[in-house]
Structure 1
Amino acid sequence: MNAFCSLAGESPAVSVLVSLNIRPYVSAVSAMTDVFKAEGGSPSVFFMADFPGKSQKILKEKLGKAGGQIFVAVGPEAARFLWTHFQDRPSPVIYTMVLNPEQISAGPAPRCGIPLQIPVQAQVRLIGRTLPGVKRIGLLYDPKYNTAFFNRARESATIEGLQIVPLEISSKKEIPGLLEKEWASVDCLWMIPDRTIISESVIQYIIKESLLNKTPVIGYNRFFYESGAALSFIFDYETLGVQTARLVLSIAGGEPCRENDPEFQVWPNRRVIEKLGLAYAEDPEP
């Protein structure tokens, strides 16, 4: 008996709620669905965009009829909706592709899913071992949003024999002056998801200035790589979908709910690395 049959008889065992109809989410859901179908399941997929405003009551009713199904929330809006309306159900709500899920849940921090964040220690380790010449890592962030990230990064850097140099800002306007003052203090510039900095034009400006100052940028998605970051941590959304489906199946089979680190890739930009004359480890020790 497969995991789907063990859950719900003839009804679909899984209901998937998707925050937005955008390519990353759609790619993940498509891959997720393929895994479920291979296991003999037929998941129900709902897009929140199909239930705007007051019609979300209809969405709640449709999901409520799912009975003993497992719910999967793709993205923060879907997670917030399910945690608000269905947190007390005996069957779990599993989230995926959610950044900082603990900031969304009104109750205890959810521990059942895949957050869209790579463990800080893993990032620090990979920066230091992929670019062995880098010792002083400048972390650009707004303390309002990422003080906890900075503290974890500083602790991890100490373990790796590295130093995190805090580059704190509270508005985009502060970035040019801060960078001009700090270029000599850092060996690389590490950019992380931050509400104050998240802007394509700002990212492109920072990377341009970094290259002019012979300082590599570490980024967190494909846009950074294409814009000239020396090293980028990349999520493949289909891979995340497959990983999520496997987590769902393991829980359906009786495994306890847990939070899993997301699978990710490290993309070195060899053209930029060579241009900057950086030492580079092709296959760094994990």
Structure 2
Amino acid sequence: MRPLLFCILITTLSLAAPALAADLLILQSSRSPVYSEALRGLRAAARTNEQPLVLSDYAEVDVQRLVREERPRLVIAVGDKALSACRKLREVPVLSMLSLSLSQKPQSDHVGGVAMVAPPERYLELFGQLGAKRVGVLYDPKLSGLYLKRAAVQAADRGIILTMEPVRHSRDLQGQLEKLKGEVDLLWLLPDSTVVTTVNMEALLLFSMTQGIPAVTFTGQYLRNGAAAALDIDPYDIGVQTGELVSSLLRNGVYPKVPVQDPRKVRLQVNDSVLRKLRLKTP
């Protein structure tokens, strides 16, 4: 950030109520209705003093210096860009929400929050309701490896076989997808940016249709393109859940390890026409 612009930013924050030093610095990646909904939930659950900052409004923000100047008790990072900006912070706990990278990478003890993907057991329960025993999933080990390790343990306990094909570059998807032909009875799509591109989503959903197997995804927006079911997150409740973490941390005042929690509320959405075509009951 230009020195003058940063000075203006620091001055503006300094003129805000001094309560900032006692409560929250909210770093928001960008202006998004989804982020706004999550923050609405957070504010409903945690009555605190706060100072919000939208990172996309500035060319650059020195978050470390900002924290030293303003001395918040907690930092709330909304979205991946905000969480990335907090990676060097050590002097204050960070709570993240609506960030995929929270569950994709190991985090320091002072970083936690609410993850952005439904817990594996919710997906496995849905697979069971759809009668699937052989589930195929394509994934980038760097992005979804940790999550799928959890899923594999729980799948074995439920008698579900996970066939996991690594995709390290988006152009490699088609070759890995071919390996699943005739080997799986359900295709599981994760929010993995290496796998889920516009071109790849067409290939994945075409595979689902031509193989006559359901595709289960992480957002209802793909139902109209042929996915059979989706477990979608609830941004407002993620905000409420994060707000409850905020209240707990501020009340206890000791942060040996900030927890990472799964979202407790997800919304099942289905494409009834696809389920009928595949002769599957609505879960």
Q: 1:88 aligns with which of 91, 113, 116?
A: 91
Q: Would you say 1:73 and 2:77 are equivalent positions? A: yes
> What residue is the counterpart of 1:44 in the other structure?
51
Partner deviation per Cα, 1:57-89 (whole Å, 9 max, x = no partner): 4x65544333353211112221232341x3223
> What residue is the counterpart of 1:123 in the other structure?
123
CA spacing shift, 1:147–1:104, aligned 2, 3 Å: closer
Q: Which runs of 5+ in 2 are unaligned?
A: 1-16
Q: CA deviation at 1:212?
A: 2.9
Q: What percentage of residue pairs aligned between the two structures are identical? A: 24
Structure 1 counterpart of 2:90, which letter? Q
**Which range is displaced more, 223-232 or 59-68?**
59-68
Q: What is the total number of aligned residue pairs between the two structures?
A: 261
* 1:19-58 equivalent positions in 2, closer than 5 A: 19-36=29-46, 39=47, 41-53=48-60, 56-57=61-62
Partner deviation per Cα, 1:123-170 (whole Å, 9 max, x = no partner): 223322x21x21110112234544444443332211001111233434
Distance 2:35 2:235 in 1: 7
> What residue is the counterpart of 1:267 in the other structure?
269
CA spacing shift, 1:241–1:33, aligned 2, 3 Å: same
State TM-score, norm by structure 1: 0.79
* 1:1-286 equivalent positions in 2, closer than 5 A: 11-12=19-20, 13-36=23-46, 39=47, 41-53=48-60, 56-57=61-62, 60-84=64-88, 86-89=89-92, 92-101=93-102, 108=108, 110-128=110-128, 130-131=129-130, 133-143=131-141, 145-254=143-252, 257-263=258-264, 264-281=266-283
Residue 231 of structure 1 contacts residue 269 of structure 1 at CA under 8 Å; is this kept in 2?
yes
CA spacing shift, 1:66–1:152, aligned 2, 3 Å: same
CA spacing shift, 1:94–1:149, aligned 2, 3 Å: closer
Residue 102 of structure 1 contacts residue 110 of structure 1 at CA under 8 Å; is this kept in 2?
no
Residue 80 of structure 1 contacts residue 104 of structure 1 at CA under 8 Å; is this kept in 2?
no
Residue 100 of structure 1 contacts residue 117 of structure 1 at CA under 8 Å; is this kept in 2?
no
Q: CA deviation at 1:279?
A: 3.6
Distance 2:251 2:237 in 1: 21
Residue 139 of structure 1 contacts residue 189 of structure 1 at CA under 8 Å; is this kept in 2?
yes
Distance 1:227 1:60 in 2: 43
**Which range is displaced more, 152-161 or 246-255?**
246-255
CA-atom RMSD in angstroms: 2.8
**Which range is displaced more, 27-36 or 70-79?**
27-36
Distance 2:163 2:105 in 1: 29
Matched residue of 2:117: which SS? coil
Structure 1 counterpart of 2:70, which letter? A
Residue 171 of structure 1 contacts residue 196 of structure 1 at CA under 8 Å; is this kept in 2?
yes
Structure 2 counterpart of 1:160, which letter? R
State TM-score, norm by structure 2: 0.79
Residue 192 of structure 1 contacts residue 219 of structure 1 at CA under 8 Å; is this kept in 2?
yes
Residue 189 of structure 1 contacts residue 217 of structure 1 at CA under 8 Å; is this kept in 2?
yes
Distance 1:236 1:120 in 2: 16
Matched residue of 1:30: which SS? helix
Distance 1:215 1:136 in 2: 11
Distance 1:210 1:278 in 2: 14
Structure 2 counterpart of 1:20, which letter? S
**Which range is displaced more, 253-262 or 70-79?**
253-262
